Amino acid sequence: MATVAEMLVEQLELAGVERVYGIVGDSLNPIVDAIRRSKKIRWIHVRHEEVAAFAAGADAEVTGKLAVCAGSCGPGNLHLINGLYDCQRNRVPVLAIASHIPATQIGTQFFQETHPDRIFNECSVFSEMISDPNQMPRVSRIAIESALTAPGVSVLTIPSTVTQEKAPEGKALDMAHPRKPRIIPNEEDLKELADAINEADKVALFCGAGTRGAHDEVMELAGKLYSPVGHSLRGKEWIQWDNPYDVGMSGLLGYGAAQESMEEADLLVLIGTDFPYDSFLPHKVRTAQIDINPMHLGRRTRCDISVQADVRETLKLLIPMVEQKKSRSWLDKKLKSQAYLMDKVVGAYTEDGSKLKPIHPEFAAVKLDEAASDDAIFTVDTGMCNVWAARYITPNGKRRVIGSFLHGSMANALPQAIGAAVAEPHRQVVAMCGDGGLSMLLGDLQTIKTQDLNVKAVVFNNSALCMVKLEMIVDGLVDFGTTNDEMNFAAIAEAMGIRAVRVTDPQELEAVLEEEMAKPGPAVIDIVTDPNALSIPPKIEFGQAKGFAFAMSKQILNGGFGEVMSMARSNLRNIPRRF
Ligand SMILES: Cc1ncc(C[n+]2csc(CCOP(=O)(O)OP(=O)(O)O)c2C)c(N)n1
């Protein structure tokens, strides 16, 4: 007769799980032992449980299948929490196995006692404890189905005493899964939307990650309406490529003419987006919203017309209902503005980048974009790497760009690269790391070596927590606590047995990237970049502009004159003209 641990692993096998990320330990050992004996599931040993959760999230993101992470009782599974928040907010199907102290000790302040079933409540769609073996296999199956269907995070808390008990007679539970349902809009809502579109002269579209799989339909609609098409950071990889209507990205990291297009429109149509920054959304423009999740409707800005349905299904029905617009003059104006802003602002740094030392991060990002393969998976650290990826990594429908775009955690790039590379070993995985981000979960560089992963960890090494430096300056504060020691990550990687190269000369960068990207297996490319290269959001409030100038003068008064001068030189060309 099987134990609870063995039945759980059999249940995972039935769900098609192929790997579990985690760190072994006491209460978790019987489950890991059952995984060791499984012919279908691999144990992926990481160095920090947070990495296990981020990795599982990226695995689920690229495969669309359930991914699993595990941590031992108390601190072991507590370490999962930040990664699980990220998975939950990214709405990817992840099961976390949190092993627990012996059931007889719960409530006694026993060694390592925490309450995982309560702790993970906020970052999961399902969090339950198996306190009796007879809950198996139903509860494990419910956990799996909850993660898959929400989709989101399920957490199973299992005390060590229960793990080793005999499971009830019988086998793990299989079930017939329904095919993806077609979720079509209510006819009246659809008609209201079509009427509003037909009445408006200038219709702007703004697209989020919910447009995944609907690229062609969005293009067809934009072609009929002569609409400028803007996108959020998460929408970029699905909508920006092969897009003659592209006007760039909005938000704190945004660029181009997306913002002005939204503000000038008679009707703004938000498509599959829960873009969180309401201050970047117009509030005076008539707004329609299409989203499969009704919770997203109207929660960021006004919602005059709302359609709850699958984006692609909606657009397929909507397109024949809207009339071809006659004039494309507004679209052409916005495209011209986009071209100007891209050339003169976003492109400013990169023109003569090969001569600038320290290496400018924008130049590095452009060279990385050119050197990476056509179907590379990029993972992007929270911090300035978000900006460089958003502006310079070219999506093409085959590449992926994964980050902690909703949870905004630092140190996500390396762990997510691990999950992506384990799941898709034939693809090149490029982790765009900040030096702060890489330092935070540095131990897991070992994992790319141990697992021999095709991960190229590219460090934008500016010896600073640069994103926060920018925040402080824009807020009118003197930047403080934002400096990191100069660190030679290539030497650290080499000491770990990983191929590594450090680049300080911009003239060498292209050749190094080309060479390293072409070789299989793990590598660290440590690029020493300019810490004074900042980025300015597309919509600068008067207060922020004032703050920028104010912080500059405060720095001068504090004697930081040299730094102010170099910062001004580094950024002058990156400031939008109208600022
Ligand atoms: C876990 C966590 N801690 C702190 C922050 C706040 N924060 C956001 S970006 C950032 C700096 C990142 O520095 P680095 O990785 O060196 O990248 P850079 O911005 O310099 O390119 C910090 C401290 C965060 N988002 N997440």
Q: Whose CA is nearest to atom 3 of ligand 1?
A: 410
Q: How far is CA 105 from CA 65, 108, 109, 117, in A?
A: 36, 6, 8, 15
Question: Counting atoms of ligand 1 from 1, which one is nearest the CA of 460?
Answer: 21
Question: Counting atoms of ligand 1 from 1, which one is nearest the CA of 82?
Answer: 1
3-state helix, strand, coil in the chain (%, to 5): 45, 15, 40
Res 463: pLDDT: 97
Helices marked H in 289-444:
311-318, 329-341, 361-371, 384-392, 413-423, 435-440
Q: How far is CA 330 from CA 250, 257, 266, 285, 497, in A?
A: 19, 12, 11, 16, 57
Residue whose C-alpha is closest to residue 158's, from 116, 125, 120, 107: 116
What does the block give as tokens for 258?
Answer: 């997306």
- The number of beta carbons lying within 10 Å of the beta carbon of residue 475 is 14
What does the block give as tokens for 20?
Answer: 């579990």
Exposed (0-12), middle (13-18) or buried (19+): which is 64, by Cβ within 10 Å?
exposed
Res 12: pLDDT: 97
User: For ligand 1, is residue 462 a contact (CB within 6 Å)?
Assistant: yes
**Contacts for 459 with CB less than 8 Å, ≥ 6 apart:** 433, 434, 435, 438, 489, 524, 525, 526, 527
If you write DSSP's letter for every residue of 228-249 in order, what string do you get? Answer: -EEE-TTTHHHHSTT-TTEEEE
What does the block give as tokens for 36?
Answer: 């060791």
Tell me the per-residue pLDDT of 104-127, one tens digit each, with 9 for 90 and over.
999 999 999 999 999 999 999 999
Is the separation of the CB atoms in 289 and 208 below 8 Å? no
Residue whose C-alpha is closest to residue 48's, from 429, 439, 436: 439
Task: Report the sign of the C-alpha dihedral through residues 58, 14, 156, 38, in that order.
Answer: negative
> pLDDT of the chain along its 579 residues, tens only?
899 999 999 999 999 999 999 999 999 999 999 999 999 999 999 999 999 999 999 999 999 999 999 999 999 999 999 999 999 999 999 999 999 999 999 999 999 999 999 999 999 999 999 999 999 999 999 999 999 999 999 999 999 999 999 999 988 888 888 888 999 999 999 999 999 999 999 999 999 999 999 999 999 999 999 999 999 999 999 999 999 999 999 887 788 899 999 999 999 999 999 999 898 999 999 999 999 999 999 999 999 999 999 999 999 999 999 999 999 999 999 999 999 888 765 555 555 788 889 999 999 999 999 999 999 999 999 999 998 999 899 999 999 999 999 999 999 999 999 999 999 999 999 999 999 999 999 999 999 999 999 999 999 999 999 999 888 887 788 889 999 999 999 999 999 999 999 999 999 999 999 999 999 999 999 999 998 876 555 555 555 555 555 555 555 445 444 455 455 455 444 444 332
User: For ligand 1, is residue 408 a contact (CB within 6 Å)?
Assistant: yes
Res 573: pLDDT: 42
Measured over all CA atoms, what is the biggest interatomic distance in the chain, rounded to whole angstroms? 77
C-alpha 273 to ligand 1 mean position (Å): 25
Q: Encode burial over 168-203: b for 16+ CB neighbours within 10 A, e otherwise.
A: eeeebbeeeeeeeeeeebeeebbebbbebbeebebb
Q: What does the H/E/C string look like for 151-164?
A: CCEEEEEEEHHHHC
C-alpha 468 to ligand 1 mean position (Å): 7
User: For ligand 1, is residue 458 a contact (CB within 6 Å)?
Assistant: no
Is the separation of the CB atoms in 230 and 205 below 8 Å? yes
Is the separation of the CB atoms in 230 and 282 below 8 Å? no
Mutation pick for ligand 1 pocket among 468, 469, 474, 530 (CB with most ligand atoms within 8 Å): 468
Tell me the per-residue pLDDT of 397-417, one tens digit each, with 9 for 90 and over.
999 999 999 999 999 999 999
Q: Give the up-direction half-sphere exposure of residue 551: CA atoms within 13 A in the CB hemisphere.
A: 21
C-alpha 322 to ligand 1 mean position (Å): 45
User: For ligand 1, is residue 466 a contact (CB within 6 Å)?
Assistant: yes
User: For ligand 1, is residue 437 a contact (CB within 6 Å)?
Assistant: yes
**Contacts for 321 with CB less than 8 Å, ≥ 6 apart:** 190, 191, 194
**Contacts for 428 with CB less than 8 Å, ≥ 6 apart:** 372, 373, 375, 376, 377, 454, 456, 517
Q: How far is CA 139 from CA 4, 170, 175, 466, 513, in A?
A: 11, 15, 14, 46, 49
Residue whose C-alpha is closest to residue 205's, from 254, 251, 250: 250
Res 563: pLDDT: 52
User: For ligand 1, is residue 385 a contact (CB within 6 Å)?
Assistant: yes
- The residues that bridge with 23 in the sheet, in sequence order, are none
What does the block give as tokens for 376?
Answer: 């590379």
Residue whose C-alpha is closest to residue 84's, from 380, 437, 423, 415: 415
C-alpha 171 to ligand 1 mean position (Å): 47
Mutation pick for ligand 1 pocket among 86, 382, 480, 529 (CB with most ligand atoms within 8 Å): 382
User: For ligand 1, is residue 381 a contact (CB within 6 Å)?
Assistant: yes
Residue whose C-alpha is closest to residue 496's, from 452, 437, 436, 562: 452
